[in-house]
Amino acid sequence: MPAAQHIERDQDLAMSSDELLQAQLELYHHGLAFVKSLALKAATDLRIPDTIHRRGGAATLSELASDTGIHPTKRSNLRRVMRVLTTTGVFSIVQGKGSNDHAGDGAAYYKLTRVSRLLVERSPHNLSPMVGTIVNTLCWTSLLKMPEWFTQGQEGESAQSHSLVQLANGCTFWDTTKVDGGLFNDGMAADSRIAMKVLLKEHGGAFGEVKSSLVDIGGNHGATASAVARAFPHLKCTVLDLAHVVAAAPASDILTFVAGNMFEYVPPADAVLLKWILHDWKHEDCVKIMRRCKEAIPAKEAGGKVIIIDMVVGYPVTQPNDSIEAQVLLDIYMMGSDGMEREENVWSLIFSEAGFSDYKITPTNGIRSIIEVYP
């Protein structure tokens, strides 16, 4: 490029002092976003939400420190972590009238917010296992490999045939769930308990109209299917999952567990449920799974359908910004293991390639939608 053009381009980089400082602030803010995740993980692992709850909903720093076993030399550091978490809305802080002590907390009380109420172990909405499922070394080591992964590949292979998880850890994501001490399964069960409570209450019709049987594919330990079976006792509910997952599932008198591979066989039923399954897989695999589902259900006129609970990125367009941001962040998390979060046009392509004729999307107030797909 001629020198004059360089100079002209460099002028594009010029900024006023205010712009420069604002840009620097924004860059540091983005770069440090990981600290929020790690502070959340620390507070969850230290069971700070449980301590606040046990103490009647408010606790001082000294109480948090003594109840959670914080070493006396680290107490002021706990305050710093709590400052991040109150600034980001995970906890709230109420200033008391006492004078400030060495740690600077004075008579301040920390309280739960709607976010940290989800992290109290005895809550029926306890979502704390999901924090460990999202914030973990596997995910970090994988995503740190992004620049290397993006520039690797061989002719003829699909862009994602070697996942970030494989590149960073030498094994697949599903291999890691076999040896994580149940962390992943606990996270899934916690998510299902909350999601299904709301979905069945607000959008139960999608399940209520199923004639007499439903099979939950990749149904893990049955948290989702149990909720459906309890809400709609007329449904005979079956859970299909991999053999090692089914072997560790708790006994149930309302569910039938089947060990198997969804790429090979889906047990016949009036409806097939896929909650948080297709986002784990690349396009061609989703088409294969959907074809198996189609073989398992009756025709549309006879009530056959597939019910998918997953994200439809950017749908509806009126979603709040934090919902869209969570969707696109989760998409990158899923990229680590070859999965993806999809826009409506991509879902539509999967359905038509798998031979389905129609679908209906019902958005929820959360980040996921219910997609009913008809043969």
Ligand X SMILES: C[S@@+](CC[C@H](N)C(=O)[O-])C[C@H]1O[C@@H](n2cnc3c(N)ncnc32)[C@H](O)[C@@H]1O
Tell me: does residue 192 bind ligand X (CB under 6 A): yes
Question: Read out DSSP for 110-169?
Answer: EEE-HHHHTT-TTSTT--HHHHHHHSSHHHHHHHTTHHHHHT---TTS-TTSS-HHHHHH
From candidates 110, 276, 359, 374, binder to ligand X by CB under 6 A: 276
In contact, 116 and 53? CB cutoff 8 Å = no
Phi, psi of 170, rounded to the nearest 5 degrees: 70, 15
- Residue 133, exposed/middle/buried by CB under 10 A (0-12, 13-18, 19+)? buried
Tell me: does residue 262 bind ligand X (CB under 6 A): yes
In angstroms, give the least distance from the CB of 139 to ligand X. 14
From candidates 105, 280, 310, 338, binder to ligand X by CB under 6 A: 280
Phi, psi of 112, rounded to the nearest 5 degrees: -80, 150
From candidates 174, 197, 267, 282, binder to ligand X by CB under 6 A: 174
Q: Which is nearer to ligand X, 43 or 313 (CB)?
A: 313
CA distances from 261 to 179, 266, 292 (A): 19, 8, 11
Of 84, 85, 75, 69, nearest to 105 (Cα)? 75
Task: Give the whole-angstrom CA distance, residue 345 versus residue 9.
Answer: 38
Q: Number of residues interacting with ligand X: please give it, by CB under 6 A.
A: 19
Segment interacting with ligand X (CB under 6 A) among 48-56, 100-108, 186-194, 349-357: 186-194
In angstroms, give the least distance from the CB of 93 to ligand X. 34
Tell me: does residue 172 bind ligand X (CB under 6 A): no
Tell me: does residue 258 bind ligand X (CB under 6 A): no
Task: Give the whole-angstrom CA distance, residue 119 versus residue 116.
Answer: 5
In contact, 106 and 93? CB cutoff 8 Å = no
Q: What is the dihedral of CA 134, 136, 137, 138, to 10 degrees?
A: -40
**Residues 6 or more apart from 73 whose CB is under 8 A from it?**
none
In angstroms, give the least distance from the CB of 338 to ligand X. 12
By annotation, the residues acting in catalysis are 279
From candidates 50, 105, 186, 191, binder to ligand X by CB under 6 A: 191
| Binding residues for ligand X restricted to 226-245, rule: CB under 6 A | 240-242, 245
From candidates 39, 138, 188, 296, binder to ligand X by CB under 6 A: 188
* Residue with smallest beta-carbon separation from ligand X: 218
Q: Which is nearer to ligand X, 58 or 254 (CB)?
A: 254
Q: Which is nearer to ligand X, 108 or 188 (CB)?
A: 188
The partner residues of 92 in beta bridges, in order of sequence, read: 111
Q: Which is nearer to ligand X, 19 or 202 (CB)?
A: 202
Tell me: does residue 220 bind ligand X (CB under 6 A): yes
Q: Which is nearer to ligand X, 207 or 276 (CB)?
A: 276
Tell me: does residue 351 bind ligand X (CB under 6 A): no
Tell me: does residue 337 bind ligand X (CB under 6 A): no
Tell me: does residue 277 bind ligand X (CB under 6 A): yes
Q: Which residue type occupies 249? A: A
Q: Which is nearer to ligand X, 270 or 280 (CB)?
A: 280
In contact, 222 and 250? CB cutoff 8 Å = yes
Q: Which is nearer to ligand X, 199 or 262 (CB)?
A: 262
Which of helix, strand or coil describes residue 372? Answer: strand
Segment interacting with ligand X (CB under 6 A) among 26-34, 261-269, 329-337, 357-365: 261-269
In contact, 216 and 271? CB cutoff 8 Å = no
Q: Contact residues for ligand X (CB under 6 A)?
A: 174, 188, 191-192, 218-220, 224, 240-242, 245, 261-263, 275-277, 280
